[in-house]
Amino acid sequence: MTVARVWLYAWLLPSLSLAFMRATLTADSVPRSPTRTAMVMQSQKTSAPKRIGLLVEPTPFTHVSGYANRFNEMLKYMAKAGENVEIITVDDTPEAPASKFGYPINTIKGFRFVLYNEIALTFDLKQRTLAVMRRFKPDILHVTSPGFLVFVGVLTARILKVPLVFSYHTHLPVYAKQYFPVPGIDNAAWKILKFVHNRADLNLVTSPQMKEELEASGLCGQGSRA
C-alpha cells in the first residue's frame, strides 16, 4: 500500500478526523484575515532570523518519503540563514534523532497506522505540541499537510496567536477518487481540505498548477504560493 493511500484513509475516517476537529476548534475559528496573510508574506522578505515552529508528519528523519529530502534541505538552508527552529514530529523508532542541523526535535510516539504500519501518526491528544510551542514562543508555525497534525497546528496557532503556514504535499481529492471510489469521496476530501487550509495565513504548494487548482476550488483564498 502506498503512503498516499495511507493518507487518504487517515483523512477520510469521519469518526476520527471530524470528531477531533469538533473537539479542538472553537466556534469562532474562521479563516485568517488578509492583513495577517500580508504580514506573513512580508516577513519572508526580511533578513532578521525568525523563530519557526515546524510540525511535520510523518517523520522525514527515519522514514523514506517523497518529501523527506525536501524538508532536510529546507532545514539545512534555515540553519545557514540563522533561523531558530523547533521541530515536532512523530516517530517510535530507536533511530529517532534528538536534533537535526542543530535544531531540537521533539518526538511524539503516536501510533502505527493499521493499513500501513511503516509510518507513525498522532492526534497529540496529550497536547505536547502546545506545551513545546508555548515554551518556544514561535514567530510562525509551519505545518505539513495532509496529516493529523494539521488539526493540532490550527489549534496551537489559535491559542498562541501566531501566523500559520501549511505546506501541501499530497493532493488528497485525486487519491480519494482513485483509491477509495465511493460516491462523493472526492467532495468529502475537498471539504476537509477547505476546512483546514482556509484557516491558514499562507498555503505553500508544490507547483503553479496545484496553486491554480486549489484557488479555483475555493481553497487557499487568504494566500497561497507555489
pLDDT, tens digit, 9 for 90 and up, residues 49-71:
789 999 998 888 987 777 788 88
Q: Are 222 and 186 in contact (CB under 8 A)?
A: no
| Range scoring the smallest mean pLDDT among 41-50, 94-103, 137-146 | 41-50
* Residues 11-22 pLDDT 10s: 433 333 333 333
Q: What is the pLDDT of residue 209?
A: 86
Q: What is the pLDDT of residue 80?
A: 92
Q: What is the pLDDT of residue 121?
A: 82
Q: Are 34 and 126 in contact (CB under 8 A)?
A: no
Q: Are 129 and 149 in contact (CB under 8 A)?
A: yes
The pTM is what?
0.76
Average pLDDT, the chain: 77
